[in-house]
């Protein structure tokens, strides 16, 4: 198999963490044997003048033959955009990229329509695709999918929708089925079984392998494709075949020699522990998971996970008592699962009753709290509930929110309950780690659809590997996708052993 990475960008100097330098992009390209990588200067994707960005991109591509230049247009700049489009095409750009999400403008503007139309008119033979960055567009981005699809067909310009949220998968599939000129980069569509859903819907030939490197983990995305329950032909189409067809290129006539990639995913060679998963389904386009059915145990088995700690999403956001009862039923059916008791600071007596009931069952190993629904860390009721949780001597895993001084509230709870192990779900980058480095009872785990490259490594360097857990958020995300991002962070086997196994056994007192 070979890989064509359709989405990347670079900066000459580090703008901010993560490291998005050209050197890092080249290192990832070489490490993963990527045959060709489409790239653009990050200068043009933030708030710089497109002409300067495109000159930078073309200069870099001339020096590195495995990088293909992508030109950038910005309707906010406006001045001379027709000349800039012409210069991009004459300079050898293989695609044009715009960033309405990150740059806070909408495709529902006349100037964007004129740009898309001009791209179509400028392509004398093979149509030049336009890459459109959605991330940052908020809820309006869901409406953009249809809008861009309709314009794509009207102007006969293939469009590549980049960083579409997995939450919009249903609309994306519907638009791709309606408009075959619409393609999607797959990085943010990292739902467990997500690629299978897309291929089953008949849009497999419109999927593109786009890692958004070097910001995100290439290992994670490769695992996502290689572990999909698809044929080798379908996987190869996603990894590179669709890209070559869209670009009008032939594998035998590339400017560089094709490179073979590993056809097997990177998986743990010994059993590991996943301490962040759920049962009772999510509000996304996924099969196999409802309030009473789950495939978490099957996903775990495919990733060599021996124990998976689950909480009920039903208990988190709708019915605490029914959901906790559901969790116990799942534990009865699947011996590799362990349970969290979900509590709610809006009902402290009820939460205490639930802990008294279910901690009699040794398969329940901790408590799950969810700030976006129950109240942020700084509220008095959350602080009071954590005092009650501490009395049971079990760890608590908390999904914090951005409001209400989350770290102030976390520090208060940790200092007030020094014997309570508090695990921050979806761990932050190094700045977050520095806020709790002096609190030995606070831990991080990192499951996310967007674990930026180097994030876990930077936190390990601050907190030490003894305070990091492995978690996946399955069945929302595939465990092998999350494992790939963790794998990038490990420097030695001792770190891997602590994070993947030993920390969970020690803190949760597993036998």
Residue range 205-248, pLDDT digits in tens:
999 999 999 999 999 999 999 999 999 999 999 999 999 999 99
**Angle, CA of 489, 8 and 31, to the nearest 5°:** 45
Three-class SS state of 193:
coil
Q: Which residues are CB-contacts of 76 (< 8 A; sequence separation ≥ 6)? A: 103, 105
Q: What is the pLDDT of residue 274?
A: 98
> Coil, strand, or helix at residue 472?
coil
d(CA 126, CA 280): 47
Give pLDDT tens digits for 42-80. Answer: 999 988 899 999 999 999 999 999 999 999 999 999 999
Q: What is the pLDDT of residue 451?
A: 87
At 25 the pLDDT is 95
- Cβ(120)–Cβ(96) below 8 Å: no
The pTM of the full predicted model, rounded to 2 decimals, is: 0.95
**Res 124: pLDDT:** 66
For all residues of the chain together, what is the average pLDDT? 95
pLDDT of 316 reads: 95
Question: Which spans in 3-109 are helix H?
Answer: 22-31, 50-63, 81-91, 100-103
Residue ranges of the chain with per-residue pLDDT less than 70: 14-17, 124, 404
- Provide the pLDDT for residue 125: 74
Cα 182 from Cα 176, distance rounded (Å): 5
Please choose, from the candidates 24, 10, 16, the residue with its C-alpha nearest in 3D space to the C-alpha of residue 57. 10
Structural domains of the chain sorted by starting position, each given as residue range(s) with its CATH number in brackets = 4-253 (3.20.20.140), 272-507 (3.20.20.140)
Q: Which candidate, 123, 120, 174, 185, places its Cα nearest to that of 152?
A: 120
Alpha-helical segments (H) within 303-443: 313-317, 320-333, 348-358, 371-374, 380-390, 406-416, 430-436
């Amino acid at each position: 198999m070979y890989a064509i990475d359709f989405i990347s960008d670079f900066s000459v100097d580090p703008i901010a963490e993560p490291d998005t330098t050209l050197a890092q992009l080249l290192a990832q390209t070489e490490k993963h044997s990527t045959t060709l990588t489409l790239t653009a200067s990050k200068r043009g994707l933030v708030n710089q003048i497109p002409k300067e960005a495109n000159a930078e991109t073309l200069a870099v591509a001339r020096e590195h033959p495995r990088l293909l230049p992508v030109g950038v247009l910005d309707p906010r700049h406006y001045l001379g955009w027709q000349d800039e489009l012409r210069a991009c095409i004459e300079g050898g750009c293989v695609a044009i990229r715009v960033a309405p999400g990150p740059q806070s403008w909408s495709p529902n503007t006349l100037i964007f329509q004129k740009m898309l139309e001009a791209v179509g008119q400028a392509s004398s033979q093979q149509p030049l695709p336009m890459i459109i960055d959605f991330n940052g567009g908020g809820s309006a981005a869901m409406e953009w999918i249809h809008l861009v699809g309709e314009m794509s067909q009207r102007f006969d310009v293939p469009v590549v929708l980049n960083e579409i949220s997995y939450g919009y998968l249903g609309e994306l599939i519907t638009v791709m089925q309606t408009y075959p000129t619409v393609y999607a980069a797959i990085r943010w569509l990292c739902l467990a079984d997500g690629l299978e859903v897309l291929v089953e819907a008949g849009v497999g030939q419109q999927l593109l392998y786009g890692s958004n490197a070097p910001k995100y983990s290439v290992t994670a995305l490769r695992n996502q494709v290689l572990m999909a329950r698809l044929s080798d032909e379908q996987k190869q189409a996603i990894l590179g075949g669709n890209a070559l067809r869209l670009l009008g290129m032939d594998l035998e006539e590339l400017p560089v020699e094709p490179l073979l990639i590993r056809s097997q995913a990177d998986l743990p060679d010994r059993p590991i522990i996943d301490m962040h998963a759920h049962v009772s389904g999510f509000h996304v386009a996924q099969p196999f998971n409802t309030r009473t059915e789950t495939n978490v145990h099957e996903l775990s088995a495919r990733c060599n996970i021996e124990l998976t700690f689950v909480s009920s999403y039903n208990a988190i956001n709708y019915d605490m008592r029914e959901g906790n009862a559901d969790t116990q039923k799942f534990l009865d059916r699947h011996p590799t699962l362990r349970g969290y008791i979900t509590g709610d600071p809006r009902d402290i007596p009820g939460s205490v009753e639930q802990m008294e009931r279910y901690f009699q069952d040794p398969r329940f190993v901790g408590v799950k709290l969810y700030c976006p629904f129950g109240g942020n860390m700084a509220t008095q009721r959350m602080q009071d509930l954590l005092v009650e949780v501490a009395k049971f001597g079990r760890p608590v895993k908390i999904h914090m929110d951005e409001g209400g001084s989350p770290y102030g509230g976390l520090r208060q709870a940790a200092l007030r309950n020094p014997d309570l192990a508090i695990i921050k779900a979806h761990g932050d980058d190094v700045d977050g780690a520095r806020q709790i480095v002096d609190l030995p009872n606070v831990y991080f785990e990192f499951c996310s659809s967007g674990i930026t490259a180097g994030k876990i490594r930077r936190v390990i360097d601050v907190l030490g590997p003894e305070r990091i857990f492995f978690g996946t958020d399955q069945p929302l995300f595939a465990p092998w996708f999350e494992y790939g991002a963790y794998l990038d962070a490990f420097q030695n086997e001792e770190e891997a052993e602590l994070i993947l196994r030993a920390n969970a056994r020690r803190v949760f007192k597993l036998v």
